[in-house]
Amino acid sequence: MTALSVQGLTAGYSNQPVLRQVSFDIASQSVFALIGPNGHGKTTLLRNLSGLISQQEGRVEYLGTQIEDLSAHRRVELGLIHVPQGDQLFGEMSVEENLLMGAYLRDSKADVTSSLEEVYAFFPRLAERRNQMANSLSGGERRMTGIGRGLMGDGKLMMMDEPSLGLAPLLIEQIYESLKALSKSGRTFLVVEENPARIAEIADTIALMDGGQIVWSGPPESLQSEEKLIQSYFGGH
């Protein structure tokens, strides 16, 4: 089954297209990784899919529903969750309030409480920091809060924009361990990443974005053989 199907998407800022005729499908419960150099439309694509910016052309189907004309909050209601780049936490709220904001649209208090416990079990550090203001957290804690906040939405498709950005190598490993565990949780993931080697370990499909277009996609194993491709985009990894 297809979780997300994007057909001929053209979008950008003030009529200046950043994305040009982007098409791809994401299978349910799979991990779809979007890689490629900076400034070539990966973040714009996620911002478009979550409804923060509108598109000029194309169709987006999420679990059988056309969503390209829906507002951001309707997409969240449908379980399309976007964990944005650089965390975008609510700085003057506590960790717990940030997590509760992630469950803003959920009405059942009991469900929200059990999700909160799950997130604390998943990231025990957040349980220790629950009353601390988000803007006083370390980089790793901020990232965990951002991901935890996304998990609180109980989404079916989670889009993560560079979950390892700006973290020390040890922390990146930890975050990737968490992602690996999450990828077996029955959710579908769309992960934007800069480093192809790292994401290849957990992705089912990898797509390479360049100049606002998807120029290559396939299973991670076949990316290894595309040496020329990797050379040209990432300078010899």
Q: Assess 196 for contact with other proteins (CB under 8 A).
A: no
Q: Assess 97 for contact with other proteins (CB under 8 A).
A: yes
Which residue in this structure is represented by tokens 């601390």? 132
Q: Encoding tokens for residue 156?
A: 């079916």
Q: Assess 101 for contact with other proteins (CB under 8 A).
A: yes
CA angle 153, 39, 194 (to 5 degrees): 65
Closer Cβ to other proteins, 48 or 217, answer by number:
48
Q: Assess 212 for contact with other proteins (CB under 8 A).
A: no
Answer for the pair 148, 99: CB distance below 8 angstroms, yes or no. Answer: yes
Cα 237 to chain centroid, rounded: 23
Closer Cβ to other proteins, 136 or 222, answer by number:
136
Residue type, 183: S
Stretch that binds other proteins, among 44-52, 56-64, 198-206, 223-231 (CB under 8 A): 44-52
Among 41, 51, 212, 220, contact with other proteins (rule: CB under 8 A): 51
Which residue in this structure is represented by tokens 């469900």? 111
Answer for the pair 188, 156: CB distance below 8 angstroms, yes or no. Answer: yes
Among 8, 13, 69, 91, contact with other proteins (rule: CB under 8 A): 91
Q: Assess 13 for contact with other proteins (CB under 8 A).
A: no
* Nearest alpha carbon to residue 172 among 144, 150, 136: 144
Task: Tell the smallest beta-carbon distance from residue 43 to other proteins (Å).
Answer: 12
Q: What mask of x and - would describe binding to other proteins in positions 143 to 172, judged by CB under 8 A?
A: ------x---x-------------------
User: Quick one: 175 exposed, middle or buried, by C-beta within 10 A (0-12, 13-18, 19+)?
Assistant: buried
Among 4, 9, 60, 89, contact with other proteins (rule: CB under 8 A): 89
DSSP 67: -
Binding site for other proteins (CB under 8 A): 50-52, 71-73, 76-77, 81-82, 84, 88-93, 97, 100-102, 104-105, 149, 153
